[in-house]
Structure 1
Amino acid sequence: MKPIVFGLLTALGLATTALAQDATLAPPALHAEAVPAVLQKAVDDFIRPGYRHFRNEASLLEKDMHAFCAAPTEAGLQTARDAFGKTVASWSTIEIVRVGPIIENNRFERILFYPDRKSTGLKQVQAMLAKPDESATSVATLKDKSVAMQGLGALEFVLYGTGSEKLSTEKGGFRCRYGAAIAGNLVRLGDELVTEWDRPGGIQDAWKHPGPENPVFRDGREAITELLGILVHGSETIRDQRIENFYKGEENNTFPKQAIYWRSGKTWASIEGNIEGLRTLLKVSGMVELVNEDTRSIVSSIDFVAKSLSRVAGTIDPDVENAVTDPAERAKLDFLLLNSKDLILRLNNDYGGAIGLAAGFSFSDGD
Structure 2
Amino acid sequence: MTMKSILLIAALMAPLATPALAVDDALARKIMVNAVDGYIRPSYSALEDAAHGLSDNTAAFCAAPSDDGLKGLNARFGDLVEAWARIEIVREGPVLENNRYERILFYPDRKSTGQKQVQKILADPDASDMDAAGLAAKSVAVQGLGAYELTFFGREAGLVASPDDADQCRYGLAVSRNIEAIAGELSAAWDAPDGVAKNWKEPGPANPVFRTGDEALQAMIGIFVHGVETVRDQRVKPFYKGAGEKTSPRLALLWRSENTMRAIHGNVSGLADLWKTSDMRSLLTGDAEALADAVEFDFKAAAGAVGKMEQPTAEKLADGKYQRKIDFILFNLRDASTRIDRDVGAAVGLSAGFSFGDGD
Q: How many positions carry a matched residue from both structures?
A: 356
Deviation per residue, 1:248-278 (Å, 9 max, x gap): 1143421111101111111111111100100
The one of 252, 255, 262 aligned to 1:259: 252
Deviation per residue, 1:176-227 (Å, 9 max, x gap): 1111111100110011101111112111111111111111111000011111
| Residues 295 and 336, structure 2, Cα contact 8 Å, conserved in 1 | yes
Correspondence for 2:314? 321
* Residue 99 of structure 1 pairs with residue 96 of structure 2: no
Correspondence for 1:69? 62
Q: How much does 1:72 deviate?
A: 1.7
Correspondence for 1:173? 166
Where 1:153 maps in the other structure, the secondary structure is helix
Where 2:246 maps in the other structure, the secondary structure is coil
Correspondence for 1:139? 132
Task: List gaps (5 residues or longer) in structure 1.
Answer: 1-10
Which one-letter code corresponds to 1:86 in the other structure? D
Which one-letter code corresponds to 1:351 in the other structure? V
Choose 112-121 or 40-49, whichever is displaced more: 112-121
Looking at structure 2, the residues matched to 293 and 284 of structure 1 have their Cα atoms a distance apart, in angstroms, of 20
In the TM superposition, what are the counterparts of 1:348-367 in structure 2 within 5 Å?
A: 348-367=341-360
* Residue 18 of structure 1 pairs with residue 23 of structure 2: no
Correspondence for 1:292? 285
Choose 354-363 or 203-212, whichever is displaced more: 354-363
| Residues 268 and 302, structure 2, Cα contact 8 Å, conserved in 1 | yes
Correspondence for 1:237? 230
4+ aligned runs moved over 3 Å, structure 1: 14-17, 20-26
| Residues 317 and 329, structure 1, Cα contact 8 Å, conserved in 2 | no
| Residues 31 and 292, structure 1, Cα contact 8 Å, conserved in 2 | no
The one of 82, 85, 110 aligned to 2:78: 85
* TM-score normalised to structure 1 length: 0.92
Looking at structure 2, the residues matched to 319 and 292 of structure 1 have their Cα atoms a distance apart, in angstroms, of 41
Correspondence for 2:19? 27
Cα–Cα, structure 1 residues 25 and 125, in superposed 2: closer, same or farther, change >3 Å? closer
Looking at structure 2, the residues matched to 265 and 201 of structure 1 have their Cα atoms a distance apart, in angstroms, of 40
Looking at structure 2, the residues matched to 26 and 62 of structure 1 have their Cα atoms a distance apart, in angstroms, of 50
| Residues 6 and 290, structure 2, Cα contact 8 Å, conserved in 1 | no
In the TM superposition, what are the counterparts of 1:274-285 in structure 2 within 5 Å?
A: 274-285=267-278
Deviation per residue, 1:338-360 (Å, 9 max, x gap): 33322221221122123322222
Looking at structure 2, the residues matched to 327 and 235 of structure 1 have their Cα atoms a distance apart, in angstroms, of 23
The one of 148, 168, 184 aligned to 1:155: 148
Which one-letter code corresponds to 2:150 in the other structure? F
Correspondence for 1:221? 214
Which one-letter code corresponds to 2:9 in the other structure? A
* TM-score normalised to structure 2 length: 0.93
Q: How much does 1:335 deviate?
A: 2.3
Which one-letter code corresponds to 2:21 in the other structure? A
Where 1:163 maps in the other structure, the secondary structure is helix
Q: How much does 1:173 deviate?
A: 1.8
Task: List gaps (5 residues or longer) in structure 2.
Answer: none
Where 1:215 maps in the other structure, the secondary structure is coil
Q: How much does 1:92 deviate?
A: 0.9
* Residue 47 of structure 1 pairs with residue 46 of structure 2: no
Cα–Cα, structure 1 residues 54 and 30, in superposed 2: closer, same or farther, change >3 Å? farther
| Residues 272 and 300, structure 2, Cα contact 8 Å, conserved in 1 | yes
| Residues 10 and 290, structure 2, Cα contact 8 Å, conserved in 1 | yes
* Residue 187 of structure 1 pairs with residue 180 of structure 2: yes
Q: How much does 1:315 deviate?
A: 2.5
Looking at structure 2, the residues matched to 164 and 258 of structure 1 have their Cα atoms a distance apart, in angstroms, of 19
Cα–Cα, structure 1 residues 358 and 133, in superposed 2: closer, same or farther, change >3 Å? same
Correspondence for 1:336? 329
Deviation per residue, 1:313-342 (Å, 9 max, x gap): 223221432221122111212223333322
Choose 78-87 or 141-150, whichever is displaced more: 78-87
| Residues 210 and 218, structure 1, Cα contact 8 Å, conserved in 2 | yes
The one of 340, 345, 356 aligned to 2:338: 345
Q: How much does 1:30 deviate?
A: 4.4
| Residues 64 and 162, structure 2, Cα contact 8 Å, conserved in 1 | no
Which one-letter code corresponds to 1:31 in the other structure? V
Which one-letter code corresponds to 2:247 in the other structure? T
Q: How much does 1:159 deviate?
A: 1.6
Choose 41-50 or 130-139, whichever is displaced more: 130-139
